[in-house]
Chain A
Amino acid sequence: MKENTTRPISVAIIGNPNVGKSVLFNSITGASQIIGNWCGKTTEVCTMAVHYRNREFHFTDLPGIYGFGSHSSEEILVNDFLREEAPDVVMVVLDAMNLERGLYLLLETLERYHHVMVILNKVDAALEQDVIVFHDRLEMELQVPVTPEVSQGQLNTEELFSTVIEVADPVAPRRSYAIRYGEKIERALTALKGTVNDDAAGSARWTLLKQLEAKSDAMQSEIIGTRYNVAEDIAARITTKRSTGETLSDRIDRWALHPVWGGPILMIVFGLMFYLTFAVSRPVSEWIVEAFDIAGELIGKWLVSWNMPVLLADLFVDGIMKGVGAAMGFLPQMAMFFLFYTLIQDSGYMVRVVFLADKIMSAMGMSGKTFLPLVLGCSCNVNGILASRILSSRYDRTVAILVSSYAPCPARLGVMVFLVSAFFVSTSATLVMLALLGISLALMVLVAYIVSLFIPRSGESSFMMELPPYQKPTVQSLTISATRMTLNFVHRIRNVIIAASVVMWCLSKFPVGPFEQTYIARIGQILEPVGSLMGLNWQLIVALLFGIAAKESVLSSLGIIYHAAQDSGNLAEILIHNISPLTAFTFLLVYMIYTPCVTTLVTMYQETKDWRIVLYGVLGSVISAVVLGSLSFHIGRILF
């Protein structure tokens, strides 16, 4: 890379939410951000430095906004950034499918800044609906350079960068743009003239307009109304007449959003998603776990033959390789789920889900958007917590993160199904499963209620959102997103998984001798008084301790504890001989609630950067597990 003496050019990218900025940002910088159809998705400001033709450019992707107000957190963030960083170029991204709203933002940007350029996005998608946008007309109308997309998410980079350089040039002639407002506003502006100057925050005229807006409701309404009327006129002049007929999107939505059929269709979509996820991924999962076992054993033998102490080799094989293998076994289903998640989000169906589920969710004290983390949490709690990013208010996000950790993930379900079918038959088995799931749903509602005591529910949160037309996601973006999400997941958990595997291995191997004397057994024995409240013996408590590292390891540890392997009988039979159905039910109840696994807890911390949330999450679940477990045990003893 050649050293260059010229200052880097800073470019701030703004636009409405869902305008496709992330896609654009990707194509400009070669960086990769997840694309999506969701409002308020870009929660953090990302800047990317790139070299092009020996110059350095800093592109900053700002959150989606509708105007330069100062009421939503996104607007405040954008305003602060523009004021503090004073970018050389303000790049406004317009969506050809939603021109009026975009033009409104562009008009306000032009009133505020001189160094503006425009990216015109989704031209192809508009063309499919017989809307032709003449970008050269827009260029003439507003005297601002417009770079149209050449194909989906692709820009002419040569043209783009030369325009950036041109607009950033401080000696280039400054064009100022002014909308002519009504008599009253213009007079007020003239009266205030000279009280403020053009500065980094924007032109004097714009600053004065903001002052008038803050002063009087009538003036605010008139200023925004006039600007919108201008936007409407321009939109009409630069596009061919929009066809008023029913689009394909409208036709799909007649069913997808139907008051009666919308709900069942949603359930079918999600049901299919779960079914395909597990049907496709299970064989691959099993293969991966087996591969790790075989590899572990081979490497173990090899290590011993290389004179490594048997104990260390055992740590590697039984501790690390088993633990990592079990975690990797979840990758196929996570990858599949990420794929469907991206599909549902990018196609625009997710907004429809919010529409259908909002009322039920708000009855439970949650936003309609929380439905998504909740459903994804059922694939893996980590996914639910990651998906909570789509929620903008602190209350909604905290609720979503905490609630996701109660969602019955496949690891939990696997153990539950195994034990329920071992202890209960047909009808009662179904009832037990439903009771367990019902209790976890009730707990989620309780969690939402408890959070509302600490974090005010309303505040800046606003539901209003756009319902964009359906979009055909590209295979490329689907696979890229799914791969990236999966790799991200591996990246963030790898250390934790290895550490947890080593710790659990040490606790269960030392001191060397019978299992009853190992550290983990002793911890279980110390905790037995708590267990006795719920009718759980120390063996079951130890199994629960193993479950903290990974939920599914409860079964294998029950096997070790009750010596299932040695007795060569199967685990189910041994358990039936050792514990009563009531204890089994209580154990399952406690197991379902008591604490999220380590990976989930780490993700919780990474997403909130707040240990208190993690602590409350653990405390809350442990306390409710002990309370409900005790209730179940004592009530059960009276009843049966």
Chain B
Amino acid sequence: MGKDITLDIAAEQQEMKITGVTGSQAQKTRMLQMGFTPGTRVRIVRRAPMADPLEIKVRGTRMLLRRDECQKIRVASAE
């Protein structure tokens, strides 16, 4: 497994694996409950005009997250 990065800087369409979520207790709980649990595969589908927010594919569904929210999700390459 490669080095950890935050999700916001991952390449579009690249399969990543979540290694952890950070942030306030409320943010963390919310992200975990939405399915951003460690080990889950995620991928950036596209970025909005001006690169914020981002569309994320996770658990078979599409989610919209602001860049600062993506910065709370740590990922590593899934390959």
Contacts and interface: CB of A to CB of B under 8 A. Distances in A.
Given A355-B53, A465-B64, A460 B26 contact: yes
A221 B20 contact: yes
Classify chain A's interface size.
35 or more
5 contacts: A71-B29, A213-B29, A220-B29, A460-B26, A464-B64
A467 B65 CA distance: 10
A228 B60 CA distance: 13
B63 A465 contact: yes
B30 A224 contact: no
A462 B34 CA distance: 12
B73 to A, nearest CB: 10
3 nearest CB pairs, A to B:
A71-B26, A67-B33, A225-B37
A522 interface: no
Interface stretch (A21-29, A97-105, A332-340, A509-517): A97-105
A467 B64 contact: yes
B29 A69 contact: yes
A225 B37 CA distance: 5
A259 interface: yes
B31 interface: yes
B60 A242 contact: yes
Given A224-B37, A355-B55, A71 B63 contact: no
A82 B20 CA distance: 31
Contacts of B77: none
Contacts of B49: 259-260, 262-263, 356, 359
Contact of B52 (A98, A358, A460): A358
Nearest to B24: A71
Nearest to B67: A359
A259 B40 CA distance: 27
A359 B20 contact: no
B59 A467 contact: no
Given A257-B48, A368-B53, A66 B39 contact: no
Contact of A464 (B28, B30, B39, B47): B30
A221 B39 CA distance: 11
B59 A221 contact: no
Contacts of A360: 50
B38 A221 contact: yes
Contacts of A213: 29
A354 interface: yes
Interface of A: 66-67, 69, 71-72, 98, 100-101, 104, 213, 217, 220-221, 224-225, 228-229, 232, 242, 257, 259-260, 262-263, 351, 354-356, 358-360, 368, 460, 462-468
A66 B34 contact: yes
B62 A225 contact: no
Given A104-B35, A228-B35, A467-B64, A359 B30 contact: no
Given A463-B66, A466-B62, A100 B48 contact: no
A384 to B, nearest CB: 22
Contacts of A368: 53
A72 B48 contact: no
B30 A72 contact: yes
Contact of A217 (B28, B30, B55): B28
B14 interface: no
Nearest to B25: A71
A351 B62 CA distance: 11
Contact of A463 (B26, B29, B59, B65): B65
A228 B40 contact: yes
A98 B61 contact: yes
A66 B27 CA distance: 13
B69 A220 contact: no
B32 interface: yes
A359 B52 contact: yes
B21 to A, nearest CB: 8
